[in-house]
Amino acid sequence: MSEEQRVPEAGAPGRTEPQTQTPAPSEAPPAAAIRARGERKVRTGVVVSDKMDKTVLVRIEQVVRHRAYGKTVRSSSKLAAHDEGNDAHVGDTVRVMETRPLSRTKRWRVVEVLERAK
C-alpha cells in the first residue's frame, strides 16, 4: 500500500479535526436577571425587643399551607435590625430591608415604622 492510499485514523498525528464554532453568547442577559439580582429582600414584622441601642428584634411571621396535608402552618423568625434613630418600640409594625452585615447578627435595617403600638 502506497503512501497516497493510506487513510489516517481519527486522532492520528498529522490529521486536523475541523474546528466547530461555539455559539456566541447573547449580547446582554435578560433584563429580569439583572433586576432580580439587584433587588433586596423586604419583610414586614412586629418589634419584640428594643432594649439594645440602635437595634431592634423584629418577628417575621410566615403563614403557609402544608404541601401534603393542606393545614395552615405558622412559623416565625426573629431578625436583628438596625434602627438608627431608635424610633421603633415594642409592638410597632415595621418594614425592614436587607443590607450589608452591620455586626455579627445584624443584616437588616428598619426602613419605616408602618404602625405604632397602642
67-107: per-residue pLDDT in tens? 999 999 999 999 999 999 999 999 999 999 999 999 999 99
Q: Which domain holds residue 64?
A: 41-115
Residue 101 and residue 73 in contact, taking contact as beta carbons nearer than 8 Å: no
Quote the number of domains for the chain. 1
Q: Do the domain assignments include residue 107?
A: yes
Is 30 part of any domain? Answer: no
- Domain contains 110: yes
- Average pLDDT rounded to a whole number, residues 23-36: 54
H helix runs in the chain, sequence order: 31-38
CATH code at position 54: 2.40.50.140
Secondary structure (3-state) at 99:
coil
Query: Is position 83 within any domain?
Result: yes
In a domain, 34, yes or no: no
| Separation of alpha carbons 48 and 5, rounded Å | 88
Please tell me which residue, 29 or 79, carries the higher pLDDT value.
79
Does residue 85 lie in a domain region? yes
- How buried is residue 96: exposed, middle or buried, by Cβ count under 10 Å (0-12/13-18/19+)? buried
pLDDT higher than threshold 60 for residue 33: no
Of residues 99, 118, 77, the one with CA closest to residue 110: 99
Nearest to 94, CA basis, from 82, 76, 107? 82
DSSP assigned state of 34: H
Stronger pLDDT, 20 or 51, i.e. the higher one: 51
Question: Residue 118 is placed in which grid cell?
Answer: 397602642
Q: Is residue 89 part of a domain?
A: yes
Residue 10 lies in a domain: no
Residue 96 and residue 118: Cα distance in Å, rounded?
Answer: 21
The closest of 78, 76, 65 to 106, measured between CA atoms, is 78
Instruction: Give 35-74 pLDDT, tens digit per residue.
Output: 566 799 999 999 999 999 999 999 999 999 999 999 999 9
